């Protein structure tokens, strides 16, 4: 019998839905006995790590800049926007 595993992620998925999906995936993976399918799943996960989400290496200077900006933000010394304001600003810029 052929076994299939479908993994889908939707940006609108909330955390509870995602946790339920992950539990389901874990349960399904426990039942997989097909070596070819397991190898395919491993390759997908390796690909995701290497290509889809490459590591970002920052210099010490860049970390210091980020830390200073964060401190200024927490002290209320910098301007910040809500997500709705950011979207509206982007629409107005076009």
pLDDT in tens, the chain (94 residues): 445 544 444 555 566 677 888 888 888 888 888 888 888 888 888 887 777 656 667 888 998 998 998 888 889 898 888 889 999 989 998 7
On whether residue 70 sits in a domain, the answer given is yes
Asked, for residue 85, whether it belongs to a domain, the answer is yes
Query: Is 32 part of any domain?
Result: no
Give the chain's domain count: 1
Is residue 68 in some structural domain? yes
**Is 34 a member of any domain?**
no
pLDDT digits (tens, 9 = 90+) for 8-20: 445 555 666 778 8
69 part of a folded domain: yes
Buried-state track 67-86, b at ≥16 Cβ within 10 A, e below 16: eeeeeeeeeeeeeeeeeeee
Domain extent for 75 = 60-93
**Does residue 12 belong to any structural domain of this protein?**
no
pTM of the model: 0.35
Residue 28 lies in a domain: no
């Amino acid at each position: 019998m052929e076994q299939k595993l479908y993994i889908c992620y939707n940006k609108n998925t909330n955390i509870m839905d995602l946790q339920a999906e992950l539990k389901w995936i874990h349960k399904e993976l426990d039942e997989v006995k097909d070596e070819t399918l397991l190898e395919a799943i491993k390759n997908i996960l390796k690909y995701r790590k290497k290509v889809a989400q490459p590591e970002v290496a920052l210099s010490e200077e860049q970390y210091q800049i980020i830390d200073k900006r964060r401190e200024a933000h927490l002290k209320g010394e910098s301007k910040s926007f809500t997500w709705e304001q950011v979207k509206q600003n982007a629409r107005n810029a076009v």
